[in-house]
């Protein structure tokens, strides 16, 4: 049995987290993500969890990482300015292989920008925002249902690959109200435990070490310094750094097919929209208005790691069109993987592309 | 005598300079842990960045060596998620009072049940001796070549004002008193803050006419006055000696605390 409700996207995100077993939320109020914290504040104590309002976003992500090291499923939610503040500790989570979930309800930037307006301007920041080389996972919901489903899924991916995992939503989907079906239970995949005799940062073939949360008697030393398989700092040996950082990147990038989540419409199409998040809703409207097999749609539910093989699903493609709520960010990734022309359809200011705007571009390129 | 099974012997030699006081403070802390009868698998050490913050890496428990200034926020997450674990934070004056100042006052306000030990050597030691928020006015450092011109923070008084349930200050000279204070802090529910003033002969003493380790320790000893003596001087209307700082227990109280195991 499941139940159906009419719900706000941010509330569905919180419900998805709770259903996935999230039991720790550290946060700081920021528009347009605040309803997630408010829902968690109301619901977590009754679910046996901990809600804590931290003094800033640096502290929020720090507390989440601390809680995650006790084995709790832990999350924070924020928007642009707070996301920027979290960057250093996101790198720490990547370096220490801490499974945790960061929700970013994107708003217009840079700086304080447009607190109540939507954007997708942090898509490269979530991939490259902290210093140094690393890889993470980013999910991009386009509906209230997906705010629930993909938040729950984010916890599994974070645990499976031991990486900070981002739910990169935005003001439109966060504040949208739609019907959502909530299952009675969500299947959960927790991290593989650290095997007896294994070192705390000794990875298997998949590049992912077993996890021994604090209190499990394994005396794990966790550091953001370059470290060996024991977790001990080894900061000057080029080989030690090379081995660690290449593994941190490869464990995510080499699992691109396993992680990938996308939808394909009309694989024989010649003109293909590539979207993630709410611009996909406009493309769906365009395709409903004018059914035409020569127009295709690739919608990414996971943008990072980027599933470049999904672009090859359209063998007849002559042009890719990419509407984004930014000045052209993920389009760069598409451009570097295909030979055909890739047209960016940027839009900033806070409003979604209208169907008419996309049709105008479509007319030019087909 | 500290049970050797609390140290990661495979991590030796440590990074501390000859004459550094941090080892003394680690010893006092582990002596207090032993007095408490805590077990290794239920104790977590947390730290930020700096010389002080390397301490957890030498102790054979679960430990979290985090980012600069944020140790108390990480420790808050650990303790709130697992109140049954004992949480001890090692920090320094730069880590706690400069970059981590906001987390410091809020951790004291929340009164999360953990023990925070600040190795205050009045300098950024790891980066080679720059002026910190506790560098005494007039002191020479690589970024205060004409003498520190800013007033210094009194970390222990700051913790008292912000609401910590237990606050004490001692020095690396006062080994027995410091050990007792750490144990008293561990026994007190809520946040316990112990400021341990310590010597950095390499990056502080050398530039401030305190070249030898013994001169630095003697300087700490001779400038420390007991809280009771300070109070007596104030009551008698007598001046507090130049450069003196109080040592002893500054507060022990029972404000509501968070993360206390039920």
| pTM, rounded to two decimals | 0.98
Per-residue pLDDT at A101:
98
**pLDDT higher than 90, residue A366:** no
Residue B257 counted as domain residue: no
Give the pLDDT confidence of A226-276 residue by residue, as tens digits: 999 999 999 999 999 999 999 999 999 999 999 999 999 999 999 999 999
Task: Nearest by CB to B77, from A58, A64, A220: name it.
Answer: A64
Report the CATH number of the A262-365 domain. 3.40.50.920
CB count, 10 Å around CB of A261?
16
Task: Nearest by CB to B67, from A52, A92, A232: name it.
Answer: A92
d(CA A346, CA A41): 36
Q: How far apart are the CA of B63 and the nearest CA of chain A, in angstroms?
A: 5
| Domain ranges, residue B159 | 4-222
ipTM over 0.90 threshold: yes
Q: Tell which residue, B99, B135, B53, has the closest CA to residue A222.
A: B53
Q: How far is CA A233 from CA A240, A332, B55, B195, B200, in A?
A: 10, 36, 12, 27, 23
CATH code at position B55: 3.40.50.970
Picking from B48, B60, B77 by the largest number of A CB atoms within 10 A of its own CB, the best residue to mutate is: B77
Note whether B46 contacts A66, CB cutoff 8 Å.
yes
Q: How far apart are the CA of A7 and the nearest CA of chain B, in angstroms?
A: 29
Those residues of chain B whose CB sits closer than 8 Å to some CB in chain A are 8, 10-11, 40-42, 44, 46, 56-57, 60-67, 70, 73-82, 84-85, 102-103, 106
Give the pLDDT confidence of B201-243 residue by residue, as tens digits: 999 999 999 999 999 999 999 999 999 999 999 999 999 999 9
Q: Tell which residue, A271, A269, A268, A299, has the closest CA to residue A284.
A: A299
Q: How far apart are the CA of B7 and the nearest CA of chain A, in angstroms?
A: 11
Q: How far apart are the CA of B151 and the nearest CA of chain A, in angstroms?
A: 25
Note whether A219 contacts B62, CB cutoff 8 Å.
yes
* Residue B251 near residue B160, CB atoms below 8 Å: yes
* Residue B245 near residue B197, CB atoms below 8 Å: yes
Q: How far apart are the CA of A70 and the nearest CA of chain B, in angstroms?
A: 6
Secondary structure element (H or E) that encloses residue A288, with its range:
helix A279-289
Residue B17 counted as domain residue: yes
In chain A, CATH 3.40.50.920 covers 262-365
Task: Nearest by CB to B73, from A62, A216, A232: name it.
Answer: A62
Note whether A67 contacts B80, CB cutoff 8 Å.
yes
Note whether A66 contacts B103, CB cutoff 8 Å.
no
Buried b / exposed e across B230-247, counting CB within 10 Å, b at 16+? beeeeeeeeeeeeeebbb
Provide mean pLDDT across the span A278-307. 97
Note whether B70 contacts A89, CB cutoff 8 Å.
yes
In chain A, CATH 3.40.50.970 covers 2-183
Give the pLDDT confidence of B146-165 residue by residue, as tens digits: 999 999 999 999 999 999 99
Per-residue pLDDT at B4:
65
Residue B75 counted as domain residue: yes
Domain tally, chain B: 1
Q: What confidence category does residue B2 fall into, taking pLDDT thresholds of 50, 70 and 90?
A: low
In CATH terms, the fold of domain A2-183 is Rossmann fold (3.40.50)
Per-residue pLDDT at B104:
98
A64 to chain B: which residues are within 8 Å by CB?
77
Provide mean pLDDT across the span A303-309. 98
Per-residue pLDDT at B262:
76
Picking from A214, A228, A229 by the largest number of B CB atoms within 10 A of its own CB, the best residue to mutate is: A214
């Amino acid at each position: 049995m499941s139940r159906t409700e009419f719900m706000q996207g941010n509330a569905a995100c919180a419900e998805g987290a709770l259903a996935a077993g999230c039991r720790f939320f550290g946060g700081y109020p920021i528009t347009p993500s605040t309803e997630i914290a408010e829902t968690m504040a109301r619901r977590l104590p009754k679910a046996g969890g901990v809600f804590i309002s931290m003094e800033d976003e640096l502290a929020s992500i720090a507390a989440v990482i601390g809680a995650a090291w006790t084995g709790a499923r832990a999350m924070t939610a924020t928007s642009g300015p707070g996301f920027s503040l979290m960057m250093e500790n996101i790198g720490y989570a990547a370096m220490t292989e801490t499974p945790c979930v960061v929700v970013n309800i994107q708003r217009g930037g840079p700086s304080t920008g447009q607190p109540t307006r939507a954007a997708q301007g942090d898509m490269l920041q979530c991939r490259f925002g902290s210093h140094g080389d690393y890889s993470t996972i980013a999910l991009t919901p386009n509906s209230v249902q997906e705010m629930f489903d993909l938040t729950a899924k984010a916890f599994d991916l974070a645990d499976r690959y031991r990486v900070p995992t981002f739910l990169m939503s935005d003001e439109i989907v966060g504040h949208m109200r739609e019907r959502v079906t909530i299952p009675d239970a969500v299947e959960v995949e927790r991290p593989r435990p650290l095997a007896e005799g294994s070192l705390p940062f000794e990875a298997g073939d998949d590049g992912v070490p077993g996890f021994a949360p604090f209190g499990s008697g394994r005396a794990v030393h966790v550091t953001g310094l370059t470290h060996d398989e024991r977790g001990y700092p080894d900061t000057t040996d080029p080989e030690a750094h090379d081995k660690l950082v290449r593994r941190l990147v490869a464990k995510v990038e080499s699992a691109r097919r396993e992680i990938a989540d996308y939808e394909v419409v009309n694989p024989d199409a010649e003109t293909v929209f590539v979207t993630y998040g709410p611009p996909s809703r406009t493309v769906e409207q365009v395709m409903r208005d004018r059914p035409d097999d020569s127009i295709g749609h690739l919608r990414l539910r996971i943008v990072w790691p980027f599933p470049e093989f999904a672009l090859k699903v359209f063998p007849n493609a002559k042009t890719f069109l990419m509407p984004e709520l930014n000045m052209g960010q993920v389009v760069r990734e598409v451009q570097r993987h295909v030979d055909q022309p890739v047209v960016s359809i940027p839009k900033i200011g806070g409003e979604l592309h209208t169907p008419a705007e996309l049709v105008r571009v479509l007319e030019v390129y087909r | 005598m500290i049970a050797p099974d609390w140290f990661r012997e495979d991590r030796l030699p440590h990074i501390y300079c000859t004459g550094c006081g941090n080892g003394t403070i680690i010893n006092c802390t582990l002596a207090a842990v032993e007095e408490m009868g805590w077990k290794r698998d239920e104790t977590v050490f947390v730290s930020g960045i700096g010389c002080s913050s390397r301490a957890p890496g030498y102790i054979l428990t679960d430990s979290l060596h985090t980012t600069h200034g944020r140790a108390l926020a990480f420790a808050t997450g650990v303790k709130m998620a697992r109140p049954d674990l004992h949480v001890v934070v090692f920090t320094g004056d730069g880590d706690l009072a400069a970059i981590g100042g906001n987390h410091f006052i809020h951790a004291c306000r929340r009164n999360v049940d953990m023990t925070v030990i600040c190795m205050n050597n009045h300098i950024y030691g790891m980066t080679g001796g720059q002026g910190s928020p506790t560098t005494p006015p007039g002191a020479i450092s690589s970024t205060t070549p004409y003498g520190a011109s800013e007033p210094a923070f009194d970390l222990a008084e700051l913790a008292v004002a912000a609401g910590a349930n237990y606050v004490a200050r001692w020095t690396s000279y006062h080994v027995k008193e410091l050990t007792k204070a750490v144990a008293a802090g561990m026994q007190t529910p809520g946040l316990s803050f112990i400021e341990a003033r310590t010597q950095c002969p390499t990056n502080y003493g050398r530039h401030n006419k305190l070249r030898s380790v013994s001169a630095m320790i003697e300087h700490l000893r001779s400038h420390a006055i007991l809280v009771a003596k300070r109070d007596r001087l104030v009551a008698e209307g007598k001046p507090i000696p130049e450069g003196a700082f109080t040592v002893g227990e500054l507060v022990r109280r029972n404000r509501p605390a968070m993360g206390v195991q039920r």
